[in-house]
Amino acid sequence: MSMKNVLIIGGGQAGATVAQDLRKRGYEGDITLIGEEAQLPYRRPPLSKAYLAGEASIESLQVMKAPILEKNRIDLRTDSRVSSIRPAEHQVELADGQVLSYDKLVLCTGGRARPLPVAGADADNVFELRSIKDVDAIRAECTEGRHLVIIGGGFIGLEVAAVARKLGLNVTVLEGLPRVLARVTAPQISTFFEQVHREAGVQIRTDASVSGLVGSPRVSHVLLRDGEQIPADLVIVGIGLIANTELAANAGLAVDNGIVVNEFGQTSDPDIYAAGDCSNLPSAFYGRRVRLESVNNAMEQARCVAAALIGNPQPYDPVPWFWSDQYDLKLQMVGLSAGYDTCVLRGDPATRSFSLFYLRDGEIIAADAVSQPKDFMAAKKLVAARVRAEAATLADPSIPLTDLLPA
Per residue in 87-109, pLDDT tens?
Answer: 999 999 999 999 999 999 999 99
Instruction: Name the E strands within 16-159.
Output: 30-34, 74-77, 82-86, 91-94, 99-101, 104-107, 111-113, 126-128, 147-151
pLDDT of residue 188: 97
Burial (CB < 10 A; 0-12, 13-18, 19+), residue 277, is: buried
Q: What is the mean pLDDT of the segment spanning 21-39?
A: 97
Looking at 40-180, list the stretches that DSSP marks H as alpha helix, in order from N- to C-terminal side.
58-61, 66-71, 132-139, 155-166
Q: In this prediction, what percent of the chain has a pLDDT beyond 70?
A: 100
Mutual angle of helices 295-309 and 13-24, in 10-degree steps: 40
Question: 88 phi and psi, to 5 degrees?
Answer: -65, -35
pLDDT of residue 106: 98
Per residue in 199-224, pLDDT tens?
Answer: 999 999 999 999 999 999 999 999 99
Q: Give the whole-angstrom CA distance, residue 193 versus residue 191.
A: 6
Collapsing DSSP to helix, strand or coil, 138 comes out as: helix
Contact yes or no for 395/345 (Cβ under 8 A): yes
| Cα 359 to the center of its chain, rounded Å | 25
- How many CB atoms neighbour CB 322 within 10 A? 20
Q: Give the whole-angstrom CA distance, residue 170 versus residue 142.
A: 10
Per residue in 335-384, pLDDT tens?
Answer: 999 999 999 999 999 999 999 999 999 999 999 999 999 999 999 999 99
Contact yes or no for 150/171 (Cβ under 8 A): yes
Per residue in 249-275, pLDDT tens?
Answer: 999 999 999 999 999 999 999 999 999
pLDDT of residue 1: 45
Q: Examine the pLDDT at 178 and tell me if it is beyond 50.
A: yes
Contact yes or no for 265/275 (Cβ under 8 A): yes
Whether residue 45 is preceded by a cis peptide bond, meaning omega within 30 degrees of 0, is no
Q: What is the mean pLDDT of the segment spanning 290-309?
A: 97
Contact yes or no for 329/353 (Cβ under 8 A): no
DSSP state of 344: E
Please report which confidence band the pLDDT of residue 3 belongs to, taking 50, 70 and 90 as the band edges: confident
Please report which confidence band the pLDDT of residue 407 belongs to, taking 50, 70 and 90 as the band edges: confident
Q: What is the mean pLDDT of the segment spanning 284-294?
A: 94
